């Protein structure tokens, strides 16, 4: 019997991108995506030791932490870059979208004209796309069709960095400041084949809601993901209740997807972890265990520049993706 939920889990707080190159990730998130390179501070040795347990890292692994954010948009997710030595293998070599694991970070763009400006900036910075500007047909709540615009930037470590635009009569996928042609991160995506168990985790444990669950058919490599024409994928958008951004996307290729031969969590390179805030960490972990998802590590007490004093724990989703849950000490 499922116990009554008496806690809240908020929208995506942070995407963790593991890399071996501080320079390449800084070039993408700061120079291309106009995020501030916020000082993450130097974590005390005791705190790093606790993080090592929390993330399941070997004793010999060393890392430096960099934080990218939009200070004027506190509601959008941050990107935490962990520069690891030694770094693990790529989660998604060759940007192969069929492999399970973390896939992308998506950013809001207003319209085609500003998306074209983004492409021009990327070209000037030596950052290319997989297929220029592409379109996907969706439906409004009233059933009428509309085309969403996408461009798939080639981010470091074979991560997809997306720009996403919607028609003017619909809200953008995330806020955009005046004077900026691209907003902060709005969502992050991963590939999970036969995703029902993972969807149940986000719905039943975290309390999120599935707002879109449709099958999409690829038009071919020109669609930006390098898929063969006719490839069908289940496309899900999952939100914290009441939220309009900081959401999750899951792509499910079912039997056509490829189980990943490498670990999809740190220290493997790419999108390797999602972090969510909660006002009752113990209750979330109890609900998780009730649904058959055991705690991976923690809770542990931590203190860092970006979140202050907090408690944290990690769980592995049914398909092995690392989810970090944090509870502020000031709650």
Complete DSSP assignment for 173-197: SS---TT-SS-SEEEEEEE-SSTHH
Residues of the chain with pLDDT under 70: 1-4, 39-42, 331
Query: Tell me, what's the pLDDT at 223?
Result: 82
CATH number, domain of 247, equals 3.10.180.10
Longest dimension (CA), the chain: 57
Query: Which pTM value belongs to this model?
Result: 0.95
Domain count, the chain: 1
Which residue in 254, 312, 224, 331 sits closest to 16, CA to CA?
312
Q: Could you tell me if residue 7 is inside a domain?
A: no
Query: Tell me, what's the pLDDT at 1?
Result: 41
Query: Tell me, what's the pLDDT at 5?
Result: 79
Query: Tell me, what's the pLDDT at 41?
Result: 62
Q: Could you tell me if residue 6 is inside a domain?
A: no
Query: Tell me, what's the pLDDT at 221?
Result: 78
CA distance 112 to 135: 11
Q: Which residues pair with 270 in a beta bridge?
A: 18
CA distance 277 to 286: 16
Which residue in 152, 170, 173 sits closest to 77, CA to CA?
173
Evaluate whether 7 touches 284 at the Cβ level (below 8 Å).
yes
Q: Could you tell me if residue 266 is inside a domain?
A: yes
Q: What are phi and psi of 281, to 5 degrees?
A: -60, -45
Domain interval for residue 178? 14-328
Share of the chain above pLDDT 90, in %: 75
Q: Could you tell me if residue 227 is inside a domain?
A: yes
Q: Could you tell me if residue 186 is inside a domain?
A: yes
Query: Tell me, what's the pLDDT at 3?
Result: 60
Say how many C-beta atoms besides its own lie within 10 A of residue 108's C-beta: 25
């Amino acid at each position: 019997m499922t116990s009554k939920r008496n806690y809240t889990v908020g929208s995506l707080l942070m995407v963790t991108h593991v890399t071996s190159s501080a320079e390449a990730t800084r070039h993408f998130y700061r120079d291309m995506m106009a995020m501030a390179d916020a000082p993450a501070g130097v974590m005390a040795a005791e705190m790093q030791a606790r993080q090592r347990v929390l993330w399941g890292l070997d004793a010999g692994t060393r890392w430096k932490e960099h934080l990218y954010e939009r200070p004027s948009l506190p509601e959008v997710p941050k990107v935490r870059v962990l520069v690891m030595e030694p770094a693990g293998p790529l989660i998604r070599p060759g940007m192969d979208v069929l492999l399970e694991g973390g896939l992308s970070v998506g950013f809001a763009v207003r319209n085609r004209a500003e998306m074209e400006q983004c492409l021009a900036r990327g070209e000037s910075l030596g950052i290319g796309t997989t297929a220029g500007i592409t379109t996907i047909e969706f439906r409004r709540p009233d059933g009428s069709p509309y085309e969403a615009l996408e461009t798939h930037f080639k981010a470091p470590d074979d991560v997809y960095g997306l720009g996403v635009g919607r028609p003017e009569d619909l809200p953008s996928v995330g806020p955009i400041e005046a004077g900026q042609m691209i907003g902060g991160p709005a969502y992050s995506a991963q590939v999970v084949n036969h995703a029902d168990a993972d969807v149940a985790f986000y719905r039943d444990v975290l309390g999120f809601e599935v707002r879109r669950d449709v099958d999409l058919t690829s038009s071919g490599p020109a669609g930006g993901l390098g898929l063969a024409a006719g490839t069908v994928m289940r496309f899900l958008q999952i939100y914290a209740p009441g939220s309009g951004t900081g959401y999750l996307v899951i792509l499910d290729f079912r039997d056509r997807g490829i189980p990943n031969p490498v670990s999809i969590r740190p220290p493997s390179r790419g999108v390797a972890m999602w972090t969510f805030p909660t006002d009752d960490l113990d209750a979330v972990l109890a609900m998780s265990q009730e649904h058959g998802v055991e705690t991976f590590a923690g809770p542990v007490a931590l203190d860092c520049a970006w979140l202050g004093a907090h408690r944290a724990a990690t769980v592995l989703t049914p398909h092995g993706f690392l989810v970090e849950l944090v509870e502020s000490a000031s709650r």
